[in-house]
């Protein structure tokens, strides 16, 4: 007699049973804050693949390349009583995504950092996941809102009595394999500029976290007298640009001629300062340096009260009498774009509230305040989003977009430890 053994139903296999294939799928999960925490809650196996593989986060970020826009830091400068108050309480984080990707503002509060314990704190720059603060003691604080880490830098003595501006950026640049927004432990640079020294010439100095030192001081040798407009920097290719005001000569200043808008550029590779005469514009226009569609330097201006936005491109290869020329490539009526015509009579119109407040150089988006409403406008496509209506009126702000990879919730294992440092430079 023969016996035939039987087994139960044969288990069907799924492509998701293959760890390598599953990882390839999980790498394509959107880089929004809630995505990976949600993945880790599916099951222990998925959590193991996300959290125990040290290369997973690096591969996930490398796949998406660009970190999400988590929000922007808003630095409020002027108030209805005409005072100019600088205080950390006036630096607010405004999240942009909706829940569950919305970061609570208190998590990125600047009060967590030493610069936030006193008054007269200026926010100067926000780029590659870091924020640059300046206090009245002559200290820079390079802060990482995601990890809570910070580094303190002492300003070189040649700059201590000058009105200064500065920018922070990742030292890795756009090197192959590096992804900005995951730069928590990467070296960084701080580029310090002053546009009105003892001799009226712009000058710059660069700090490197790799050496822990400030470098040589670079000066612009061209004619003219220059003043900082106090705006934020724009990174285009391998150069940083700031808006400044200028007089053509000392004689022009003495004769009472109006100042003209100009662009101060610092080439990170060549370590050189240049001044570019700005496009023709009314002195009351609000303006912002932007990235042109061809990757060059552009300039956006907003006229009041017509609310016409003009975009200019700098013709770097076309000069007349050694003066660079600008081409007007676009003029748009923002009242029409934003659909404000029907509501113009009910909106509170004020010159002090119609400004370009900031610029996201990764997506080419201008932050524009029109009639107490904040709009985010992509100046190439003219697509826009209304972010909010202001409840506090009468103040001017500067908006600093903040991009970073960040997992929402209590998932510190996805980020790592914070780093706190202090650097004394004399």
- For residue range 252-279, list pLDDT tens digits in order: 555 555 678 889 999 999 999 998 888 9
The total number of structural domains that make up the chain: 1
In a domain, 392, yes or no: yes
Q: Taking a C-beta distance cutoff of 8 angstroms, is the pair 310, 333 a contact?
A: no
Question: What pLDDT score does 272 carry?
Answer: 92
Neighbours of 56 (CB within 10 A): 17
- The secondary structure of residue 91, as a DSSP letter, is E
Q: Which of 70-74, 268-272, 298-302, 408-412 has the lowest mean pLDDT?
A: 408-412
In a domain, 311, yes or no: yes
**Strand pairing report for 373-378 and 365-370:** antiparallel
Distance CA 131, CA 142 (A): 6
Mean pLDDT, to the nearest integer, of 208-219?
94
CA distances 158 to 181, 203, 241, 415, Å, are 32, 10, 21, 38
Question: What pLDDT score does 163 carry?
Answer: 85
Confidence at 161, pLDDT banded by 50, 70, 90 = confident
Question: What CATH number corresponds to the domain at position 178?
Answer: 2.120.10
In a domain, 425, yes or no: no
Question: What pLDDT score does 363 carry?
Answer: 93
Distance CA 362, CA 376 (A): 13
- For residue range 349-371, list pLDDT tens digits in order: 444 457 899 999 999 999 998 87
In a domain, 275, yes or no: yes
Distance CA 120, CA 32 (A): 34
Taking alpha carbons only, the member of 134, 82, 92 closest to residue 397 is: 92
- For residue range 379-389, list pLDDT tens digits in order: 889 999 988 76
Give the gyration radius of the chain's Cα atoms: 25
Question: What pLDDT score does 12 carry?
Answer: 62
- For residue range 1-24, list pLDDT tens digits in order: 444 545 555 556 676 788 889 999
The residue among 270 and 423 whose pLDDT is bigger is: 270
- Residues above pLDDT 90, as percent of the chain: 39
37-41, 135-139, 186-190, 339-343 — which one is most confidently predicted on average?
A: 186-190
- The secondary structure of residue 56, as a DSSP letter, is H
Q: What is the mean pLDDT of the chain?
A: 80
Neighbours of 311 (CB within 10 A): 22
In a domain, 290, yes or no: yes
In a domain, 354, yes or no: yes
In a domain, 37, yes or no: no
Question: What pLDDT score does 411 carry?
Answer: 45
Q: Is the pLDDT of residue 150 over 70?
A: yes
Distance CA 138, CA 154 (A): 6
Confidence at 413, pLDDT banded by 50, 70, 90 = very low
Question: What pLDDT score does 14 carry?
Answer: 72
The structure tokens 């500067």 sit at 398
Question: What pLDDT score does 344 carry?
Answer: 52
Question: What pLDDT score does 370 carry?
Answer: 85
Segments forming the whole domain that contains residue 332: 65-80+88-250+258-403
47-61, 177-191, 257-271, 358-372 — which one is most confidently predicted on average?
A: 358-372
Mean pLDDT, to the nearest integer, of 168-194?
85
In a domain, 426, yes or no: no
The residue among 320 and 340 whose pLDDT is bigger is: 340
Mean pLDDT, to the nearest integer, of 17-40?
90
Q: Is the pLDDT of residue 410 over 60?
A: no
Q: Which of 78-92, 165-179, 257-271 has the lowest mean pLDDT?
A: 78-92
Q: Is the pLDDT of residue 412 over 50?
A: no
Question: What pLDDT score does 11 carry?
Answer: 57
Confidence at 113, pLDDT banded by 50, 70, 90 = confident
Question: What pLDDT score does 168 carry?
Answer: 96
């Amino acid at each position: 007699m023969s016996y035939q053994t039987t087994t139960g139903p044969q288990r069907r296999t799924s492509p998701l049973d293959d760890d390598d294939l599953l990882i390839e799928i999980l790498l394509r999960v959107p880089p929004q804050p809630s995505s990976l925490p949600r993945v880790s809650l599916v099951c222990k196996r998925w959590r193991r693949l996300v959290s125990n593989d040290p290369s997973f986060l690096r591969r996930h970020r490398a796949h998406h390349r660009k970190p999400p826009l988590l929000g922007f830091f808003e630095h409020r400068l002027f108030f209805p009583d005409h005072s100019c108050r600088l205080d950390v309480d006036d630096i607010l984080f405004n999240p942009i995504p909706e829940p569950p990707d919305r970061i609570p503002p208190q998590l990125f509060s600047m009060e967590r950092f030493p610069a936030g314990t006193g008054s007269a704190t200026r926010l100067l720059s926000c780029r590659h996941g870091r924020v640059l603060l300046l206090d009245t003691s002559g200290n820079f604080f390079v802060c990482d809102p995601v990890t809570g880490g910070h580094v303190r830098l002492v300003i070189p003595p040649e700059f201590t009595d000058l009105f200064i501006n500065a920018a922070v950026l990742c030292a890795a640049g756009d090197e192959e394999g590096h992804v900005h927004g995951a730069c928590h432990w990467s070296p960084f640079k701080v580029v310090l500029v002053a546009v009105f020294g003892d001799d009226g010439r712009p000058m710059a100095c660069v700090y490197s976290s790799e050496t822990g030192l400030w470098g040589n001081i670079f000066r612009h040798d061209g004619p003219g007298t220059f003043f900082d407009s106090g705006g934020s920097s724009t990174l285009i290719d391998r150069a940083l640009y700031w808006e400044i005001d200028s007089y053509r000569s000392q004689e022009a200043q003495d004769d009472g001629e109006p100042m003209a808008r100009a662009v101060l550029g610092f080439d990170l590779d060549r370590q050189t300062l240049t001044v570019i005469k700005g496009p023709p514009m009314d002195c009351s226009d609000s303006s912002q340096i932007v990235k042109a569609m061809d990757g060059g330097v552009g300039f956006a201006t907003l006229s009041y009260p017509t609310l016409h936005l003009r975009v200019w491109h700098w013709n770097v290869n076309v000069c007349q009498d050694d003066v660079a020329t600008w081409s007007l490539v676009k003029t748009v009526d923002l009242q029409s774009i934003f659909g404000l015509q029907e509501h113009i009579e009910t909106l509170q119109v004020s010159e002090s509230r119609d400004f370009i407040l900031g610029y996201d150089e990764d997506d080419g988006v201008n932050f524009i305040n029109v009639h107490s409403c904040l709009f985010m406008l992509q100046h190439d496509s003219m697509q826009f989003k209304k972010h909010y209506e202001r409840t506090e009126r009468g103040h001017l702000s500067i908006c600093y977009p903040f991009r970073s990879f960040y997992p929402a919730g209590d998932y510190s294992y996805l980020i790592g430890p914070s780093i706190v440092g202090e650097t004394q430079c004399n």
